[in-house]
């Protein structure tokens, strides 16, 4: 191991047309994500592994990616590098499905290098998804970054990028009282959901497939179909994960695939009514059905293509629960 902590390296050959930037670009919550960064011409991913803390660096060098691991978990994270880089994504049959609709066929052609990354790490993505429930993106980002920095303290993740931080340890989160998260702008409903999830984080991480993880996630009070889909899409690179209960996605799908400005009336938002579908969600799933197996991929392509439905009414205000 070098002085910088490097302990493992792997070279990953790339398929034709592979789009490195778009594939890993969706993993950071923003360009200021403390745990996942694109910096110095490389992609950096900090995580906790069964062998200890680790950082993965992915750098494109011509027709290949060089994966470099740092820290005690370097070997483990380098072994997962092809999944994190989206190289396990199976596009079999998607070209034929996409050909059924001219908009999807065009998007599939223009973004043919996009792959779905699979991190294999449940709790970091679940933490973020819970904070994203029924709030604005800015509120969720503030809560997420404040939480990461609270638990990481001043200790950087392994490796030379000193601004990178490890995601919180689920055991530490589970032992933390509500008032700590209140300071970060998280109300008690989301905090209680997070604490319940942290208590069973090991069982969630042990899930070997999408179906098992979805079942265990939705058995937790406060977690429904929306949160489960947001997690499985990233953990397993699930191309069929559809975020049922989202405020915007049903309208985007209806607009992009059917030219309908609104898919139907809305419920309160993500996970608001467990076990039920709003008219908008029903219409979305109806339109996506021909693409089963890749329904989530179609949603991502529509978003990349800018097929957002026209907006009506005021935007949701940004609030601060910390001052309540």
| Domain parsing of the chain, residue ranges | 6-89, 122-234
pLDDT of residue 17: 94
Task: Fill in the DSSP letter of residue 269.
Answer: S
First and final C-alpha spacing in the chain: 49
Q: Pinpoint the alpha helices (H) of the chain.
A: 20-25, 74-79, 81-84, 94-98, 102-110, 122-131, 137-152, 170-174, 178-182, 188-199, 201-205, 210-218, 225-235, 249-258, 279-288, 295-304
pLDDT of residue 320: 56
- To the nearest whole number, what is the mean pLDDT of the chain? 91
Minimum mean pLDDT among 195-209, 246-260, 308-322: which range?
Answer: 308-322
Total residues belonging to the chain: 324
Copy the structure tokens of residue 159: 């490796």
Residue 216 has pLDDT above 70, yes or no: yes
pLDDT of residue 316: 47
pLDDT tens, position by position, 76-100: 999 999 999 999 999 999 999 999 9
pLDDT of residue 133: 93
Q: Which residues of 181-199 are buried (b: 16+ CB within 10 A; e: fewer)?
A: bbebbbbeebbebbbebbe
CATH topology of domain 122-234: Endonuclease III; domain 1 (1.10.340)
Residue 317 has pLDDT above 60, yes or no: no
Confidence label for 280 from pLDDT (cuts 50, 70 and 90): very high
pLDDT of residue 283: 96
Minimum mean pLDDT among 6-10, 229-233, 271-275: which range?
Answer: 271-275
pLDDT of residue 323: 53
CB 184 within 8 A of CB 145: no
**Sole residue written with tokens 């490097």:** 6
Copy the structure tokens of residue 75: 């070997």
Residue 298 has pLDDT above 90, yes or no: yes
pLDDT tens, position by position, 103-136: 999 999 999 999 999 999 999 999 999 999 988 8
């Amino acid at each position: 191991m070098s002085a910088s902590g490097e302990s493992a390296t792997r070279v990953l050959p790339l398929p034709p047309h592979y789009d490195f930037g778009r594939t890993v670009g969706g993993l950071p919550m923003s360009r200021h994500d403390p745990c996942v960064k694109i910096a110095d011409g490389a992609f950096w991913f900090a995580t906790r592994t069964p062998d200890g803390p680790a950082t993965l660096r992915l750098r494109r060098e011509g027709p290949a990616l060089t994966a470099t691991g740092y820290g005690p978990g370097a070997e483990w994270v380098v072994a997962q590098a092809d999944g994190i880089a989206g190289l396990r994504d199976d596009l079999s049959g998607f070209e034929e499905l996409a050909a059924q609709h001219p908009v999807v066929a065009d998007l599939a052609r223009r973004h043919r290098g996009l792959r779905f990354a699979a991190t294999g790490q449940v709790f970091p993505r679940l933490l973020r998804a819970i904070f994203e429930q029924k709030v604005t993106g800015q509120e969720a980002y503030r809560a997420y970054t404040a939480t990461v920095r609270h638990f990481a303290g001043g200790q950087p993740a392994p490796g030379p990028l000193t601004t990178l931080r490890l995601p919180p340890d689920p055991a530490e989160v589970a032992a933390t009282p509500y008032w700590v998260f209140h300071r970060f702008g998280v109300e008690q409903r989301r905090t209680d959901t997070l604490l319940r999830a942290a208590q069973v984080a090991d069982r969630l991480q042990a899930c070997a497939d999408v179906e098992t993880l979805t079942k265990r996630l939705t058995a937790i009070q406060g977690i429904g179909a929306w949160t489960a889909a947001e997690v499985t899409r990233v953990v397993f690179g699930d191309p069929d994960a559809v975020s049922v209960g989202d405020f915007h996605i049903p309208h985007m799908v209806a607009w992009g695939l059917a030219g309908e400005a609104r898919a139907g009336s809305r419920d309160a938002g993500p996970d608001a009514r467990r076990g039920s579908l709003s008219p908008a969600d029903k219409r979305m799933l109806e339109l996506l059905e021909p693409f089963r197996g890749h329904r989530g991929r179609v949603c991502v392509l529509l978003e990349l293509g800018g097929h957002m439905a026209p907006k009506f009414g005021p935007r949701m205000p940004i609030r601060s629960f910390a001052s309540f």
